[in-house]
A and B are shown apart, each in its own frame.
Chain A
Amino acid sequence: AQSVSQHNHHVILSEAASLELGCNYSYGGTVNLFWYVQYPGQHLQLLLKYFSGDPLVKGIKGFEAEFIKSKFSFNLRKPSVQWSDTAEYFCAVTGNKLVFGSGTILRVKS
């Protein structure tokens, strides 16, 4: 069965700081990897996804993630965060169903 581990539960950054959120997964088959974001009071939204090909994927709002197969990792990055990026971020992996990590709450100070 697949599993996902997110290392940071809470991250606080100042605006313009760079962001990297860690995600490691465990799954024996072909993986599809996702990052979802949940803004306060809103539903889960897809930020970016990896299925195959270029391991560096770009998503919405300037986010990107890199799939490193040898490290079973799919870390999320953004060069310069904004106050509006304050949200909870979930890494997820599919086998036959989507399995989520426990999430990272990001707070960006203006």
Chain B
Amino acid sequence: DTGVSQNPRHKITKRGQNVTFRCDPISEHNRLYWYRQTLGQGPEFLTYFQNEAQLEKSRLLSDRFSAERPKGSFSTLEIQRTEQGDSAMYLCASSSTGSKLGYTFGSGTRLTVV
């Protein structure tokens, strides 16, 4: 297990379409986080899971966004009816509860809505 894996790396979609991204965390990590990063900004927290439970959602996460982690392993982030403002890099990170190693980030999925 070499790290956090995100797929796809890039996604171009037309406005109004739905998109889904996948994140595979480090296998022994029980926490999984989604962030969004736009140009010139730091990553913004979207939501996080501990095992399969979604414990917190940011106000940034509108009703068009939904995230799941059905078996406490991989996670998906779906955006429905995409808008141009959704264009960003979507980052996934994982960690272990109580760990002092910090979060491990994936390479991200870059979404472009045209």
What's the Cα separation between A102 and B35 when bound, in Å?
A: 13
Check if A44 sits within 8 Å of B91, measured CB to CB.
Answer: yes
Number of residue pairs spanning A and B whose beta carbons lie under 8 angstroms apart: 49
Residues of B in contact (CB 8 Å), total: 21
Interface residues of A in 71-99 (CB under 8 A from B): 90, 92, 96-99
Check if A98 sits within 8 Å of B108, measured CB to CB.
Answer: no
Interface of A is mostly: strand
Check if A97 sits within 8 Å of B45, measured CB to CB.
Answer: yes
Check if A43 sits within 8 Å of B45, measured CB to CB.
Answer: no
Check if B105 sits within 8 Å of A97, measured CB to CB.
Answer: no
Check if A98 sits within 8 Å of B100, measured CB to CB.
Answer: no
Measured as residues with beta carbon below 8 angstroms from the partner, the interface class of chain A is 20 to 34
Residue positions of B touching A, CB distance < 8 A: 33, 35, 40-45, 48, 56, 91, 93, 100-108
